[in-house]
């Protein structure tokens, strides 16, 4: 009959230990990847939630405003970091809230106040430096603060978009 | 007689491997549960975002219809409402217009307004559950 020697015992134990460590390494790598995916997904969810909440807040302000200037004033009242850009025939308002930048293009014609609201992820500090030279006609809050960042490049895909139209001739 | 303390017992073989498998199983369960929760949260956020967008589409169409009605073009207003919901029950009698736009599976926006020359007075702007 085959006898288990002391040397055999050690090699069996070593083999088992190596096998255990290998299994642990492979499984831990898979589990860490799953957890990382979950974290990325939760961050995206948080950003989407913030974007939806902010965009709908702005849409409600559009429905309660009678003119472009009233809308801009109520946006400045309701948000901390607001930058207003006057364009020909339209106004562009940029709002920075948490990690989200909201671009709101406001137009008014034939008693119809129209706002196109888009939420973008805020720029990284690198791109902030390059884009900070672009001018804003007027601003409220601490817009000179470098940590504010500038809104994301409009060519990037928005997280969320909403259109809000309000007939200013309507009364409740 | 002195006993050999380091005597090897075959029954102990595999205990460490079993422990590792148990720990790995726990890790895997936690990781899968957290991923599933995150996925469900994301799906529900997306559904909420879509529902919001549909609601504001319905509101925008209603505002445009009010503008058209105020300018005296009731046909255009009706077609504007029917663009978004063909079963909107648009009616316009005695300067009072009403419609209800379905914007999600179970919800609709009910609007009623009286139209005067150039403006409109909204008497009802309400979200309700279909079937109530």
Q: Is B39 on the interface with A (CB under 8 A)?
A: yes
**Which stretches of A29-128 are assigned E, i.e. beta strand?**
81-87, 90-97, 100-109, 112-121
Contact at 8 Å (CB) between A95 and A75?
yes
Q: What is the dihedral of CA A127, A130, A136, A141, to 10 degrees?
A: 60
Contact at 8 Å (CB) between A100 and A50?
yes
State the pLDDT at residue A136: 40
CA-nearest residue of chain B to A170? B120
Query: What global pTM score does this model have?
Result: 0.79
DSSP H or E stretch at residue B22:
helix B15-70
| Ramachandran region, residue B115 (left: φ > 0; alpha: ψ -120 to 50; beta: rest) | beta
Query: How far is residue B23's CA from residue A24's CA, in Å, rounded to a whole number?
Result: 9
Q: Which of A74-78, A99-103, A158-162, B39-43 has the highest mean pLDDT?
A: B39-43
For residues A116-144, give the mean pLDDT. 52
State the pLDDT at residue A12: 85
Tell me the C-alpha to C-alpha distance, in Å, between residue A75 and each of A35, A71, B5, B54.
39, 6, 81, 23
Residue A152: HSE in the Cβ half-sphere, 13 Å Cα cutoff: 18
Residues of chain B predicted below pLDDT 50: 1
State the pLDDT at residue A103: 93
State the pLDDT at residue B84: 86
More confident residue, B57 or A123: B57
Residues in A touching B117 (Cβ below 8 Å) = none
List all residues of chain B from 44 to 83 with a beta carbon under 8 Å from chain A. 45-46, 48-49, 52-53, 56-57, 59-60, 63-64, 66-67, 70
For residues A125-144, give the mean pLDDT. 39
Helix axes B15-70, A6-63, angle to 10 degrees: 10
pLDDT by residue (tens digit) across A10-61? 888 888 999 999 999 999 999 999 999 999 999 999 999 999 999 999 999 9
- Shortest distance, CA A110 to any CA of chain B (angstroms): 9
Contact at 8 Å (CB) between B77 and B97?
yes
State the pLDDT at residue A128: 40
More confident residue, A76 or A153: A76
Query: How far is residue A105's CA from residue A90's CA, in Å, rounded to a whole number?
Result: 7
Q: Which of A5-9, A138-142, B112-116 has the highest mean pLDDT?
A: B112-116
């Amino acid at each position: 009959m085959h006898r288990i020697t002391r040397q055999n015992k050690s090699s069996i134990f070593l083999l088992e230990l190596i096998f255990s460590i290998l299994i642990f390494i492979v499984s831990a790598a898979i589990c860490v990847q799953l957890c990382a995916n979950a974290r990325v997904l939760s961050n995206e969810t948080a950003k989407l939630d913030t974007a939806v909440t902010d965009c709908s807040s702005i849409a409600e302000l559009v429905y309660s405003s009678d003119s472009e200037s009233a809308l801009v004033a109520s946006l400045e009242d309701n948000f901390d970091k607001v930058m207003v850009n006057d364009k020909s025939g339209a106004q562009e308002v940029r709002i920075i809230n948490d990690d989200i930048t909201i671009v709101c293009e406001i137009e008014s014609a034939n008693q119809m106040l129209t706002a196109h609201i888009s939420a973008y992820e805020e720029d990284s500090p690198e791109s902030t430096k390059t884009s900070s030279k672009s001018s804003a006609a007027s601003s409220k809050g601490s817009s000179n603060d470098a940590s504010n960042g500038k809104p994301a490049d409009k060519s990037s895909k928005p997280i969320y978009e909403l259109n809000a139209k309000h007939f200013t001739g309507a009364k409740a | 007689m002195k006993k050999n303390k380091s005597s090897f017992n075959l029954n102990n073989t595999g205990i460490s491997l079993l422990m590792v498998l148990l720990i790995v199983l726990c890790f895997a369960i936690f990781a899968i549960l957290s991923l599933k929760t995150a996925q469900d949260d994301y799906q529900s956020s997306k559904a909420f975002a879509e529902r919001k967008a549909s609601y504001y589409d319905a509101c925008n169409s209603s505002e445009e219809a009010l503008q058209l009605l105020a300018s005296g073009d009731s046909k255009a207003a009706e077609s504007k409402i029917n663009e978004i919901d063909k079963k909107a029950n648009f009616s316009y009698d005695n300067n009072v217009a009403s419609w209800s736009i379905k914007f999600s599976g179970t919800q609709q926006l009910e609007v009623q307004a009286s139209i005067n020359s150039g403006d409109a007075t909204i008497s009802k702007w309400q979200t309700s559950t279909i079937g109530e």
